[in-house]
Amino acid sequence: MIPTGAALVAGVTGDPIAHSLSPVVMRHWIDAAEINALYAPFPISAENFDSVVRGLARAGCRGLNVTLPHKEAALELAQTASGPARAVGAANLLTFTPSGIHADNTDIAGFLYALAPANVEFSQARALVFGAGGAARAMLYALLTVGVTDIAICNRNITRAQGLARDIVPAARIIPWEARDDALQGRNLIVNATSLGLAGRDDLMLDWQRVGPGSVAFDSIYTPVKTRFLVDARARGLTAIDGLDMLIGQARPSFEAFFKRPAPALTDLRTRLLKHLEAH
């Protein structure tokens, strides 16, 4: 259905935002559901985030998904927030209601959705998370909810890593960035929650020989799907998971929040997204 002037409008914002596949995911579901709706990307800088988001809310937009670097700012500007969003300290979903802006975090569910096929024994997991932004916050919270107790955090800015640990997982071990290869020793769940590896940015280079067989490597990035992080992890024989399934997993509750109906069951959605990436 071609959207008309009566279309329900929602979108995604970040800086940058051109890489986001969220509009592609939502378009497939909108078409399958046959609803009059539009989901668009909104590039918003950090200094304009508050004013533009509030302006979109006043203009009748249904809400926004939020990506780097705005997830913590999204929580701060909301009038109300879900328990998980407050616990994480970041939001990737803002819904605009008559009573104000509501913040939620669907990255938690998306991350666990992506990990599910790997059958990780969470009670035995020794996790190492790279990053200390909004995505890292959600992933760490998710790991705690499924029973992971041995967690290390490594970030380029160690002060941010310490703050993250203090807020969410005080027992976490903080690893200086220059010691990241040493930190891999004995870890069996390695997570990249940084922007390293994103198209146009530096790769996250690691000494994967320090990671034992049977371990799992997860990269939150999906553009490109084959990051250096995942290519090297697969070369070591590890189970390597890209960020595409996390994108799908977090998008489902967002679609329902925006358009008040479940996302259609498209069993070939991942295949469609991979074809889109290959074409672009």
Active-site residue list: 71
Q: Is 56 exposed, middle or buried (0-12, 13-18, 19+ CB in 10 A)?
A: buried
> In angstroms, rounded to a whole number, what is the distance separating the alpha carbons of residues 181 and 210?
8
Residues 6+ apart with CB under 8 A from 231: none
Cα(first)–Cα(last) distance of the chain, in Å? Answer: 24
b/e map 75-112, b = 16+ CB within 10 Å:
bebbeebbebbebbbbbbbbbbeeeebbbbbbbbbbbb
Query: With contact defined as beta carbons under 8 Å apart, do 48 and 55 qualify?
Result: no
Three-state secondary structure along 210-253? Answer: HCCCCCEEEECCCCCCCCHHHHHHHHCCCEEECCHHHHHHHHHH
Joined together, the tokens standing for residue 15 give 């800086």
